[in-house]
Homo-oligomer: A and B are copies of this chain.
Amino acid sequence: MNAKARSVGDVTPLTAHFNQALVLSSGAELPEFDLVYETYGTLNTNRSNAILICHALSGTHHVAGTYGGDARTAGWWNNMVGPGKPVDTNRFFVVGVNNLGGCNGSTGPASINARTGKPYGASFPFVTVEDWVHAQARLADHLNIDCFAAVMGGSLGAMQALQWALTYPARLRHAVVIAAAPKLSAQNIGFNEVARQAITTDPDFHGGDYYAHGVIPFHGLRLARMLGHITYLSDDAMMEKFGRELLAGKHKFSLEVEFEIESYLRYQGDKFTERFDANTYLIMTKALDYFDPAASSAGNLSAAMAKTKAATLVVSFTTDWRFSPARSKEIVKSLLDNALPVTYAEIESTQGHDAFLMENEHYFSVVRTYLNRVAQEVNA
């Protein structure tokens, strides 16, 4: 970490309202919608130094900085984004946005549907990565940003960066694609499906309209998150962190929590239900499952990527078994097949998929070096 790196400090979310209808991939239409976002740093005079950061499954617009000086409110990529950090807010104007269907202020299933005066609930349409990118483009218009210096994200966020390159090739110079895959495998979809079934078979789900019942599908959402956490960590990382340690030092021969790993998963599951909406979880996992830019080119990713123009940084992590380095290399290959500029880094890490959120010298220096070049290019 740069010795002079610091936090962006306290930040304030903003809301942009869009009253022109958005037609979604499903054919459904949102007559109007809000996007909540945050910005850090200063947009330069030729408006060329903006970086859009897209969030993953459970992320938000709150990428960096704090609220009310409380360090516990630090943004989810606070280690990556700030003055002197790899995404240097002294040089870049950084935009974080909560996606459609979310539960952090942007229009989603818990929002009031103006037509009915009630929460959307089960009637909120399923959205795709492409839909998110269209909505984010509206935000770019709102901010008068014609072309991003970079669109960037990890995991599902990285899929949005790829989709930007496909949908709006003239509106970004660089895509930064971290811990991603060009589509989910059957195993990935399987894990998502178990999570969805956990939520939808919870008796408190009420077909998605649990808001009206004053309950949440607590147990289902908790299970979904517990399962998610196992897939975010590597087997090695879990052994390092928890091993087979017993909370009580011995077996209890009961259903009480016994192993440290059980305690960790239950805690993570419980905590998640306090901040996340189950319908949003369903929408996010479906967006993941649907993502498959090669589908419209008969499965040929290289053919699909032919319409992109962005230079791309692709980063993977050795122990990420959710989206392994082999999946990142599929993306790299598809760009090379089109003679597009691509930089690839495979980072040694024991942290599994979660590595994209963690500080790691090699990883951060790759991003820093890459974005330094971008800064020179756009005179940031």
* Residues of A in contact with B (beta carbons under 8 Å apart): 25-28, 125-126, 183-187, 189-191, 193-194, 196-198, 200-203, 208, 219, 222-223, 226-227, 229-230, 233, 235, 238-239, 241-244, 251, 253-255, 258-262, 265-266, 269, 282, 286, 289-290, 292, 321
Contact A185 B235 (CB under 8 A): yes
Minimum C-beta distance from A237 to chain B (A)? 9
Minimum C-beta distance from A267 to chain B (A)? 12
Interface centre among A25, A189, A191, A203 (most CB of B within 10 A): A189
Q: Which listed residue, B27, B189, B202, B242, touches A262 by the CB 8 Å rule?
A: B189
Summarize A's interface: helix, strand, loop or mixed: helix
Q: Could you name 5 residue pairs across A and B whose Cβ atoms are closer than 8 Å?
A: A185-B239, A190-B238, A191-B230, A201-B222, A255-B282
Contact B261 A190 (CB under 8 A): yes
Bound form: Cα–Cα A34–B259 in Å: 31
Bound form: Cα–Cα A258–B184 in Å: 14
Residues from chain B with Cβ under 8 Å of A208 in the complex: 255
Chain copies in the assembled complex: 2
Minimum C-beta distance from A87 to chain B (A)? 32
Contact A255 B198 (CB under 8 A): no
Contact B253 A26 (CB under 8 A): yes
Contact B262 A193 (CB under 8 A): yes
Contact A239 B196 (CB under 8 A): no
Bound form: Cα–Cα A197–B265 in Å: 10
Contact A203 B203 (CB under 8 A): yes
Bound form: Cα–Cα A198–B201 in Å: 11
Bound form: Cα–Cα A259–B194 in Å: 13
Bound form: Cα–Cα A260–B289 in Å: 12
Bound form: Cα–Cα A200–B282 in Å: 23
Bound form: Cα–Cα A238–B193 in Å: 14
Bound form: Cα–Cα A241–B189 in Å: 13
| Contacts A189-B259, A241-B186 given; does A194 touch B227 at CB 8 Å | yes
Residues from chain B with Cβ under 8 Å of A251 in the complex: 25-26, 290
Bound form: Cα–Cα A269–B222 in Å: 20
Name the CB-closest residue of B to A208.
B255
